[in-house]
Structures are given as C-alpha cells and as structure tokens.
Chain A
Amino acid sequence: EAGVVQSPRYKIIEKKQPVAFWCNPISGHNTLYWYLQNLGQGPELLIRYENEEAVDDSQLPKDRFSAERLKGVDSTLKIQPAELGDSAVYLCASSLGRGRFNEQFFGPGTRLTVL
C-alpha cells in the first residue's frame, strides 16, 4: 500500500514569492492534516480536514496561508507571499478517522527555504 505522498520534497524561493505544496493521502483515509515543523521542534498542526471540510484551521495564519482539499482526497497548502520565517518542513499526514482510527501516517515532508 502506498504511503502519504508529498511534493515537492524541497523548495527554495525568495521572500514575497508564492509557493504551494501538494499532498496525496493514503487511499480511504478521510482525515488529512497539515503540520509545520521548525528545526528542533515537534510538528504543529496548521489545519485538519475531515473529508473536504476544514474542521480545525485555528492555527493557520490566514493572512498568507490557504489550503484546500477538493473532493476530499488530495490537498494543497499555499503560502502567498512567503516570508523568511516560513522556512520549515511542511508535513502532511492522514488517518482513517477518529477514536481508534486516528493513528496518523506521515508523508516525507516538504522542506521550504525562503531566501
């Protein structure tokens, strides 16, 4: 079974430029998560989807970050414009659902460098 797929794996951009990350979750997983991981820190939730609905986006900086999950499968996270402080690893994870089905499977992440 294929795991969570993310692309690109690495991205280098200049500040003020836009950037987008793509995630394809494990087939059948209804819940999708986007996390931000800074160096030396654990993942911090940006947004959680249940199917196509964003059920928790309280930590998403909505002035510059946006996300979508069309048809409840793939998801895209966008930053526009990027700032120096956005340099981090962006992780996507998916799970079957809630309760005993909330074990998360993580993708390899996208390492973003903003110059």
Chain B
Amino acid sequence: AQSVSQHNHHVILSEAASLELGCNYSYGGTVNLFWYVQYPGQHLQLLLKYFSGDPLVKGIKGFEAEFIKSKFSFNLRKPSVQWSDTAEYFCAVNAIDFNKFYFGSGTKLNVKP
C-alpha cells in the first residue's frame, strides 16, 4: 500500500521562527501533491498544491513547498511563523494513475506568541 509520512507529529515554535515540515511518500508514479491546513474548530483547507512545472510552489499566507522528485519529498516551509499559524497540517498525495489520494497523519503546529 502507498504511504505518506509526516515525521514531525508535534512542533512547537516561537513567533518569527522559521518552519519546515517534512513530507515523504512512497508512490513511484506521477503525483499531484497538496498541503492542507486545519485551524482549530475549522475544516480542512487547501494551503498549496503542486501539479507540474516549477517544483517550488507558493501558497497562501506566505507558505511554500518544494517538490524533490528524487527524494519523494514535498516539504512545507515558512520563513517566519505567526501565532495565527497554530493549526494541524496534512500532506496529501494523489497517485495520478489511480486518481487515489493518500494523506499523512498530520503535524500539529503550536506557535507561542
């Protein structure tokens, strides 16, 4: 079975610190890649997505992610986090051949003011 690994389950940062959340997947075929965010009490929302082209993808609220095909990775980054970034972040992979989505287990980010 395909898998998506998010190695950091819980991250605690102070405001203005830099963020990098890891995401690795196992599917060897063509993929679309996503990061979703779930703010406290809200539903899952799309943060950014990669379909093709430039492997560095910019999303909302200053987030970006880099697709490194050789490493099967799609890490999420933000240079300076804010308290309002406190949320749970999910990486998702769509295996194009099967149009099947696989989600990671999520990373809870807690930003201290």
Q: Which residues on A are within 8 Å of B, measured CB to CB?
A: 3, 33, 40-45, 48, 56, 91, 93, 98-100, 102-109
Nearest chain A CB to B14 CB, angstrom units: 24
The answer to whether A41 and B46 have CB atoms under 8 Å apart is no
Query: Chain A contacts of B44 at CB under 8 A?
Result: 43, 91, 93, 106
CB-contact partner of B34 in A44, A56, A103, under 8 A: A103
- Give me the interface of B with A, judged by CB distance under 8 Å: 4, 6, 9, 32, 34, 36, 42-46, 49, 51, 90, 92, 94, 96, 98-101, 103-106
Question: Of A56, A93, A102, A107, which is within 8 A of B94 by CB?
Answer: A102
Write out the residue numbers on chain A whose beta carbons fall within 8 Å of the beta carbon of B98: 56
B99 surroundings in chain A (CB, below 8 A): 48, 56, 98, 102
| Contact yes or no, B49 A103, CB < 8 A | yes
Cα distance A62–B101 in the bound complex, in angstroms? 20
Determine whether the beta carbon of B32 is less than 8 Å from that of A43: no
Complex CA gap A91/B106 in Å reads: 15
* CA–CA, A41 and B102, complex, Å: 12
Chain B contacts of A109 at CB under 8 A?
Answer: 43
- Which chain A positions have C-beta within 8 A of B36? 106
> Are B104 and A42 touching (Cβ within 8 A)?
yes
When the two chains form their complex, are residues B43 and A108 in contact, meaning their CB atoms are under 8 A apart?
Answer: yes
CB distance from B51 to the nearest CB of A (A): 6
Interchain nearest-CB distance for B104 vs A (Å) = 5
Given contacts A56-B100, A91-B44, contact A41 B49 (CB under 8 A): no
Bound state CA distance, A105 and B101, in angstroms?
13
Cα of A42 to Cα of B4 in the assembled complex, Å: 10
Q: A102-B32, A102-B94, A103-B49 are in contact. Are A44 and B103 (CB under 8 A)?
A: yes
Residue of A nearest to B98 (CB): A56
Chain A contacts for B94, CB-based, 8 A: 102
Beyond A102-B94, A103-B46, A108-B43, list 12 extra A-B contacts (CB 8 Å).
A3-B43, A41-B105, A42-B90, A42-B103, A42-B105, A42-B106, A43-B44, A45-B100, A91-B44, A102-B99, A106-B43, A109-B43
